[in-house]
């Protein structure tokens, strides 16, 4: 029935603690939603900025292709027109003289400079194809075959409105070459193609002229800045063969492609805005990547959530331990109070028949009163320690005498046959410890040994000097303390698993008081296995050197044993 009565109160306690958990979950959810919205807004902002940069690149590619096409058209026409005239006059042998005259004109004035390279050619495609005739420095044999194949195939797809064509002729091992050619039809039905190799250095010069043109982007955006500080232009041939690059830097990830007019076959212009120019062209600049920051913030919120939940759990556990402590202390207080009340009622009602019985009753009342006082003193010591008020170092006291006094007082409280105390002490062992604190340490250790030891056991108390420390050891004949619990039992409200499962009453603060007092005086405490079985609790306090060892000097400290508190 008691379990049923406690169930609603436990459920009510959880319900009382539910709002903080719900608030934390809500805060984490709001943080997650806010981080998601911020990420989406950032992504939308970045996508808009990238689309704008792509649009700028597309506009620049279109402007460049139009301008480059105009420059190339002028140069190609000035190259092919003299060849056409010589072919119409049926004097192909004069082609070499025409090429030489074109070079001379280019070197003389630079106007409409021809693009002719090392050779010119002409070939008949219909009615029967013939091998091309070359003038100048003819290409190697593999190039000749490739030239006739590429030009013949391209001429069959020739749009009627195109005055000429520029094609790329691949080679077996060397870089591909550019060829500009035109088509001529005689009245007798012959179809002849004629053209020249394009000087690629001159080809790049025309593309450079187009790039240096100041109108690739609107002036309202560039504000007079040169194209080289804003744009990167690459002209790619078949198979993305690089024909021209405005800069040696790698192409940015955001770019736009624009094909040159159809008469320049397979050539693509790739334009992109330089990263440093994005700050000038986009209001507010290119948004940076906020994903790591958002993930960090969300992770921090999640960690704080986990930490808060852990703190709540610890608080709940501490509240439970405090509740158990109150119940246990109440039980311990009730026992001596009940005994005192019983003997007082006995004396009041005159139920004792002689003086010996009356003296026995007074002794029991005195013993239970001392026991009650000791319990109250322990609780008060724990309360002062919890508030950070620990008695300061006192004047040097004889540790052996202090332990003997505490042992004698405790022996008077022991029921007959419960335990026997055996004390072995070293005389003249001084330590700067507060007398009340020393007494409280010894009483708590003895009480612990009586509680968890067997009835009729011998509790051995030893006081001696070890490496500059006054050592107090209390050894019982109980079941001992498992290794896994030797640190846990020194914490407030903590008891070993065997103690929790037994009927032995205890608040779990005795050893905690011992540890805090010993630490406050610069000492240490631990538990180990006793030689005869059971547990051996050891306390060490810094000792003062006696005569002959330098009075008042404090000895050095050794490393703490395993399990030291």
Q: What is the mean pLDDT of the chain?
A: 77
| Angle 249-232-216 from CA coordinates, rounded to 5° | 165
Backbone angle region of 115, left / alpha / beta, with phi > 0 → left and psi within -120 to 50 → alpha? alpha
Choose the weakest-confidence range: 51-60, 130-139, 235-244, 460-469. Answer: 130-139
The whole-number average pLDDT for the span 419-427 is 88
Tell me which residue has tokens 């009835």.
455
Q: What Cα–Cα distance (Å) separates residue 254 from each residue in 241, 257, 314?
A: 20, 10, 54
- The token pair at 392 is 């300061």
Output the pLDDT for position 473.
93
**H helical segments located in 349-468:** 355-386, 399-413, 435-452
Q: What pairing do the DSSP bridges indicate for beta strands 419-425 and 256-259?
A: unpaired
Tell me the pLDDT tens digit for each residue of 445-489: 998 888 888 888 899 999 999 888 999 999 998 888 888 888 888
Would the pLDDT of 562 be above 70? no
Would the pLDDT of 172 be above 70? no
The whole-number average pLDDT for the span 412-428 is 84
Q: What Cα–Cα distance (Å) separates residue 394 from each residue in 169, 194, 305, 397, 398?
A: 104, 117, 46, 8, 12
Q: What Cα–Cα distance (Å) separates residue 217 from each residue in 70, 196, 228, 260, 353?
A: 17, 34, 12, 18, 122
Q: List the beta bridge partners of residue 193.
A: 123, 183
Choose the weakest-confidence range: 84-98, 357-371, 431-445. Answer: 84-98
Terminal Cα-to-Cα distance of the chain (whole angstroms) = 41
| Angle 369-370-373 from CA coordinates, rounded to 5° | 85
Q: Where does the pLDDT of residue 548 fall: very low under 50, low under 70, confident under 90, or very high at 90 and above? A: very low
Would the pLDDT of 110 be above 50? no
Backbone angle region of 31, left / alpha / beta, with phi > 0 → left and psi within -120 to 50 → alpha? alpha
Percentage of the chain with pLDDT > 70?
77
Output the pLDDT for position 558.
39
Output the pLDDT for position 333.
72
Domain limits, the chain = 18-284, 390-542
Instruction: Give backbone dihedrals phi and psi of 427, rounded to 5 degrees, phi first.
Output: -80, 150
Q: Which of 175, 349, 361, 154 is nearest to 266 (CA)?
A: 154
Output the pLDDT for position 86.
64
Integer Cα distance of 313 and 307 in angstroms: 10
Q: Do the beta carbons of residue 146 and residue 170 sit within 8 Å?
A: yes
- The token pair at 96 is 């070499």
Would the pLDDT of 69 be above 50? yes
Output the pLDDT for position 97.
55
Would the pLDDT of 288 be above 90? no
Interacting residues of 506 by C-beta distance below 8 A, sequence separation 6+: 328, 332, 451, 495, 499
Output the pLDDT for position 551.
35
Choose the weakest-confidence range: 19-28, 337-346, 355-364, 386-395. Answer: 386-395
Q: Where does the pLDDT of residue 502 fall: very low under 50, low under 70, confident under 90, or very high at 90 and above? A: low
> Taking each helix axis from N to C terminus, what angle separates 95-109 and 2-88, rounded to the nearest 10 degrees?
110
Q: What is the CATH number of domain 390-542?
A: 3.30.565.10
The whole-number average pLDDT for the span 277-294 is 71
Secondary structure, 3-state, 501-536: CCCCCCCCCHHHHHHHHHHHCCCEEEEEECCCCCEE
Q: What pairing do the DSSP bridges indicate for beta strands 469-475 and 535-542?
A: antiparallel
Output 522 or 305, whichever has higher pLDDT: 522
Output the pLDDT for position 332.
67
pTM of the model: 0.51
State whether residue 461 is helix, strand or coil.
strand
The whole-number average pLDDT for the span 161-184 is 82
Output the pLDDT for position 221.
81
Choose the weakest-confidence range: 319-323, 423-427, 558-562. Answer: 558-562
Integer Cα distance of 268 and 239 in angstroms: 10
**H helical segments located in 110-140:** none
Residue 398 burial (CB count, 10 A): 20
């Amino acid at each position: 029935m008691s379990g049923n009565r406690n169930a609603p109160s436990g459920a009510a306690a959880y319900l009382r603690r539910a709002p903080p958990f719900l608030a934390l979950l809500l805060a984490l959810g709001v943080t997650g939603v806010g981080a998601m919205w911020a990420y989406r807004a950032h992504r939308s902002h970045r996508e808009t900025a990238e689309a704008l940069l792509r649009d700028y690149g597309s506009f620049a590619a279109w402007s460049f292709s139009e301008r480059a096409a105009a420059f190339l058209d002028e140069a190609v026409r000035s190259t092919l027109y003299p060849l056409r005239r010589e072919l119409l006059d049926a004097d192909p042998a004069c082609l070499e003289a025409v090429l030489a005259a074109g070079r001379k004109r280019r070197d003389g004035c630079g106007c409409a400079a021809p693009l002719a390279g090392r050779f010119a050619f002409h070939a008949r495609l219909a009615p029967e194809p013939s091998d091309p005739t070359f003038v100048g420095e003819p290409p190697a044999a593999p190039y000749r075959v490739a030239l006739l194949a590429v030009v013949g195939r391209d001429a069959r797809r020739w749009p009627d409105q195109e005055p000429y064509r520029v094609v790329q002729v691949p080679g077996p091992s060397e870089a591909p070459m550019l060829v500009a050619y035109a088509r001529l039809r005689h009245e007798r039905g012959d179809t002849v193609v004629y053209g020249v190799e394009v000087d690629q250095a001159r080809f790049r010069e025309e593309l450079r002229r187009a790039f240096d043109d100041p109108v690739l982007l609107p002036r309202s955006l560039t504000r007079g800045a040169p194209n080289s500080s804003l744009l990167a232009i690459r002209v790619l041939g078949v198979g993305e063969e690089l024909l021209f690059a405005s800069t040696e830097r790698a192409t940015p990830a955001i770019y736009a492609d624009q094909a040159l007019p159809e008469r320049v076959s397979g050539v693509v212009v790739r334009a992109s805005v330089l990263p440093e120019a994005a700050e000038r062209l986009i209001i507010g600049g290119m948004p940076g990547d906020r994903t790591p920051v958002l993930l960090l913030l969300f992770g921090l919120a999640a960690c704080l959530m986990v930490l808060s939940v852990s703190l709540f759990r610890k608080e709940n556990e501490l509240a439970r331990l405090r509740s158990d402590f109150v119940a246990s202390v109440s039980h311990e207080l009730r026992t001596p109070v009940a005994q005192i009340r019983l003997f007082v009622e006995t004396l009041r009602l005159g139920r004792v028949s002689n003086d010996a019985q009356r003296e026995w009753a007074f002794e029991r009342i005195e013993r239970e009163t001392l026991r009650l006082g000791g319990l109250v003193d322990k609780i008060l010591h724990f309360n002062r320690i919890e508030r950070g008020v620990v008695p300061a170092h006192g004047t040097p006291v004889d540790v052996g005498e202090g332990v003997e006094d505490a042992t004698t007082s405790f022996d008077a409280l022991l029921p007959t046959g419960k335990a026997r105390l055996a004390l072995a002490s070293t005389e003249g062992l001084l330590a700067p410890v507060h007398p009340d604190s020393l007494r409280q340490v010894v009483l708590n250790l003895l009480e612990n040994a009586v509680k968890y030891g067997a009835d009729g056991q011998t509790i051995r108390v030893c006081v001696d000097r070890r490496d500059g420390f006054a050592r107090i050891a209390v050894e019982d004949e109980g079941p001992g303390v498992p290794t896994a619990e030797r640190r846990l039992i020194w914490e407030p409200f903590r008891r070993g698993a065997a103690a929790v499962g037994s009927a032995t009453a205890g608040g779990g603060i005795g050893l905690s008081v011992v540890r805090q007092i010993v630490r406050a005086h610069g000492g240490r405490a631990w538990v180990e296995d006793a030689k005869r079985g059971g547990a051996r609790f050891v306390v060490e306090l810094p000792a003062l050197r006696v005569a002959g060892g330098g009075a008042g000097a404090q000895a050095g400290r050794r490393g703490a044993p395993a399990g030291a508190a």
